Amino acid sequence: MEDETFEANMQGALAAGIHVGVYVFSQAITEEEVIEEAQSAIDALAPYGTGYPIIIDVERISGSQGRMDALTPSERTYMIVKFAEVVSNAGYKPYVYYNTEMSIMYVDLTRLEDIPKWYASYSSDFFYPYDIDILQYSATGRVKGITGDVDMDICFRPFWD
């Protein structure tokens, strides 16, 4: 499901010179569904070119039961790999967004080595011995002009063209 403010946000960000991408919170439980999610993101970005990343998030839904909860780590990992394959084949950069719980209990990181990673950790004592491209360090940031909490991230290398 596309965010109802997607077009306005994309146009506003690009007009302001902000690098953008697409984030997909997946609930796919079949190969067909994950391909559909990837294709939906590709279609949404098509008017803007291919220099933007497409990120898949396969986290559990906090305080709720998600469709992906029944998947094994191998099945969940396969969804990420398939999503990344479809995105990459369309000329976009795939990323996987995850946190410590996901990396330890719900995916096989050894099968994701070739996919750039966006890692979320809100601890002030940060240690993570794996290669990551982006670190999300807060979910309670403040940005002028935005009401409410904002995720805050550090990008260690450019993820745009």
Query: What pLDDT is recorded for position 161?
Result: 61
Structurally, how many domains does the chain consist of? 1
In tens digits, what is the pLDDT along the chain, a chain of 161 residues? 889 999 999 999 999 988 888 999 999 999 999 999 999 999 999 998 888 899 999 988 877 788 888 899 999 999 999 999 999 999 999 999 998 888 889 999 999 999 999 999 888 777 777 788 898 999 999 999 889 999 999 888 876 66
**Which has the closest alpha carbon to 97: 23, 154, 160?**
23
Rounded Cα distance between 24 and 84, Å, is: 12
Domain, as residue range, for 75: 6-132
Alpha helices, DSSP H, located in the chain? 6-15, 31-45, 73-89, 100-101
pLDDT at 19: 84
- Which CATH number characterizes residue 125's domain? 3.20.20.80
Query: What is the model's pLDDT at position 147?
Result: 94
Burial (0-12, 13-18, 19+ Cβ within 10 Å), 105: exposed
Q: What is the pLDDT at residue 101?
A: 86
In a domain, 137, yes or no: no
Say which residues have a Cβ less than 8 Å from residue 145's Cβ, sequence separation at least 6.
none
